[in-house]
Amino acid sequence: MLRFIRLLLTQSGHGPFQNARLSRYDTQCSAAGEAMRRREFIIFLLGGAASWPPQARAQQPERIRRVGVLIGVADDAEGQARLGAFRKGMQDLGWSEGQNVQVDVRFTGGSVNRAQTYAAEVINSAPDVVVANTSIVVAALKERTTTIPIVFAQVVDPVNSGFVDSLAHPGGNITGFISLDFGFGAKWLEILKQIAPRVTRVGILRDPSIPGGAGQTGAIQAATSSFGVELKALDVRDAATIEHGLSTFAREPNNGLIVLSSPAASVHHKLIVDLAARFRIPAIYPYPFFVRSGGLLSYGIDNYDLWPKAAGYVDRILKGANPAELPVQEPTKFALVINLKTAKALGLVVPPQLLARADEVIE
């Protein structure tokens, strides 16, 4: 079009006036042509961008995944150690807080009321997955969702508690890792009698509100005839009931104590250890941290072994795995921990064969 207009002007005649018109026209054409070329180039770029491969376009920011963590013990050194083991497991699997994952943590301190309150808060925040610790916490979460995946750590009896259909096939939105089985009951009694053979009365410190506690007590009861002892159930709910129960139990001689796994026992573990020392009661505990706080001995899992495994299940679920198809796993690693200083204070001699079996000895 620009070339056609110039041809008409040229053919209309010559002279100074006509030459000036042609000069002005050439200048205008140059500017117009440059503008046109810019427009054509921009249109080309925009049109071509639609056909570029996805990786050549501007990258969309990755969605930060949300993980709720509800821990049934106190926010103390023990609770933080469990949380730290989980966070380390997530980091090892490539999850970095603030970059591709957000971890929201709450501690219930063994309180049923706080478990209910925090469970509602966690579910209302619509996380991608929830990590739960203790049966009380899992039960509170189960009441509020059947769709958000839940991975538990340190639950005793998830089948009879109604959390899963079976260990191999959980069948719903809940799966995880068991802290112990009922076979531990007989083992605890056997070890206690080895280190304190004069024990004839054994107190079972338990939380009656936990379904798994009845099963553990039943397993110990079944073994009493083999070891010549009688059992006494001691309920644990708070510091007052613990102190009253143990002080009453200690009035009879030849006592021993088995502390079952429960949030209340974990929260008040130092009180239990101190009372056992005051009343000179040989006691066996479910976890090593009791012994590291001055308890006599423990047999069970290492608390911090399950949390990285829970992180592994969280990783798989965030990548698309169905919790109904992830089997509940039983513990495979156990440890016997003995505190020789406490044994000496109680006037007990640790048998060489028991000492040889110990995985950790505190002197």
pTM of structure = 0.81
**Is 340 found in the same domain as 313?**
no
* Between 50 and 176, residue with greater pLDDT: 176
Per-residue confidence (pLDDT) for residue 9, from 0 to 100 = 42
Phi then psi dihedrals of residue 361, to 5 deg: -125, 125
**Is 267 found in the same domain as 201?**
yes
Other CB atoms within 10 Å distance of the CB of residue 166: 11
C-alpha distances (whole Å) from 130 to each of 69, 80, 195 are: 6, 17, 41
C-alpha distances (whole Å) from 43 to each of 37, 39, 49, 176, 298 are: 10, 6, 10, 56, 76
pLDDT, tens digit (0-9, with 9 covering 90-100), for 313-359? 999 999 999 999 999 999 888 999 999 999 999 999 999 999 999 99
C-alpha distances (whole Å) from 286 to each of 120, 148, 186, 199 are: 30, 31, 13, 19
Per-residue confidence (pLDDT) for residue 30, from 0 to 100 = 52
Contact between residue 108 and residue 76 where contact means Cβ atoms under 8 Å apart: no
Q: What percent of the chain has a predicted confidence (pLDDT) above 90?
A: 69
pLDDT, tens digit (0-9, with 9 covering 90-100), for 100-117? 999 999 999 999 999 999
**Is 75 found in the same domain as 40?**
no
**Is 139 found in the same domain as 6?**
no
Residue 73 domain boundaries: 65-179+304-325
Query: Which secondary structure element, helix H or strand E, spans residue 240, and what is its range?
Result: helix 239-249
- Average of per-residue pLDDT across 256-264: 94
Domain count, the chain: 3
**Is 282 found in the same domain as 194?**
yes
Contact between residue 189 and residue 229 where contact means Cβ atoms under 8 Å apart: yes
* Between 119 and 261, residue with greater pLDDT: 119
pLDDT band with cut points at 50, 70 and 90 for residue 210:
confident
pLDDT, tens digit (0-9, with 9 covering 90-100), for 15-62? 444 454 445 545 554 544 544 454 444 444 444 444 445 554 445 567
Which DSSP letter does residue 295 get?
A: -
**Is 175 found in the same domain as 190?**
no
CATH value at residue 285 = 3.40.50.2300
Give the HSE-up count for residue 255: Cα atoms under 13 Å, Cβ half-sphere. Answer: 22
User: Which of the listed ranges 4-8, 13-17, 47-51, 301-305 does the model predict with the highest average pLDDT?
Assistant: 301-305
Average pLDDT, the chain: 86
